[in-house]
């Protein structure tokens, strides 16, 4: 039986509103976290949990927007690896946080892992592992670290060019918020096509045969 005329459009509108709400909720979460942890003293453990939550929200939102616009989609392995990398890069804070040593951050605001060198090493691994499964994972690590740096550069900065330079590279926080908002809007704009009944039943964020589906 044919669906009623206009039902597909209504479904797409609802999907767009839903995705816009999810995207904007992620932006709101990041704003709330940053208003909490940067403007007042916060216990370090709570700070860490909230800041990592901000990193997850940032990376997930940008990866979702990317998946929406990508013609090939993003594999589950790629997404999981990128999200993990966007968190695990902060392990280089441990020597300073737990042992009080600045061995990994002498004269820099954040540790040496927070640099383009880390991204370059991951990218080099991807080149070496060309054609192998490890290639995809290495590319995901590079993307995950980049997404992490994107947030850190808006919240104090990173020694992006270390070891060449020890400068702290940063950019204005409102630009970060605008970027996240644009990603939320991209998600909403691309999402409705995912529920177009004329297309295969795949949707954004839904894992199908190991692949986070994409929308053309």
Contact positions vs Zn ion (CB under 5 A): 90, 152
Q: How far is CA 170 from CA 85, 111, 116, 205, 212, in A?
A: 21, 15, 13, 31, 32
Distance CA 53, CA 47 (A): 10
Distance CA 206, CA 1 (A): 27
- H-state helical runs in 4-132: 7-37, 44-69, 76-88, 94-99, 116-128
| Min dist. Cβ of residue 51 to Zn ion (A) | 8
Distance CA 97, CA 48 (A): 10
| Min dist. Cβ of residue 94 to Zn ion (A) | 12
| Min dist. Cβ of residue 49 to Zn ion (A) | 14
| Min dist. Cβ of residue 176 to Zn ion (A) | 14
Cβ-based nearer residue to Zn ion, 34 or 152: 152
At 55, is the secondary structure helix, strand, or coil? Answer: helix
Return the axis-axis angle of helices 7-37 and 173-190, rounded to nearest 10°: 160
Cβ-based nearer residue to Zn ion, 43 or 200: 43
| Min dist. Cβ of residue 204 to Zn ion (A) | 27
Cβ-based nearer residue to Zn ion, 121 or 189: 121
Cβ-based nearer residue to Zn ion, 126 or 149: 149
Cβ-based nearer residue to Zn ion, 18 or 95: 95
């Amino acid at each position: 039986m044919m669906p009623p005329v206009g039902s597909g459009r209504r479904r797409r509108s609802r999907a767009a509103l839903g995705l816009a709400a999810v995207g904007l909720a992620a932006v709101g979460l990041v704003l709330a976290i940053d208003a909490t942890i940067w403007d007042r003293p916060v216990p370090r453990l709570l700070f860490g949990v909230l800041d990592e939550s901000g990193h997850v929200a940032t990376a997930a939102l940008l990866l979702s927007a990317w998946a929406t616009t990508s013609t090939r989609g993003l594999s589950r392995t790629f997404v999981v690896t990128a999200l993990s990398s966007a968190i695990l890069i902060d392990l280089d804070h441990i020597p300073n946080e737990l042992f009080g040593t600045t061995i990994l951050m002498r004269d820099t605001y954040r540790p040496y892992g927070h640099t383009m060198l880390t991204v370059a090493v991951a990218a080099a691994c991807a080149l070496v592992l060309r054609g192998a499964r490890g290639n995809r994972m290495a590319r995901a690590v590079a993307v995950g670290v980049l997404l992490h740096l994107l947030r850190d550069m808006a919240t104090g900065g990173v020694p992006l060019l270390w070891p060449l330079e020890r400068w702290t590279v940063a950019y204005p926080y409102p630009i970060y918020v605008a970027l996240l908002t644009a990603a939320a809007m991209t998600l909403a704009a691309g999402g409705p096509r995912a529920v177009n009944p004329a297309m295969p039943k795949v949707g954004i964020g839904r894992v199908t045969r190991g692949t986070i589906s994409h929308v053309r």
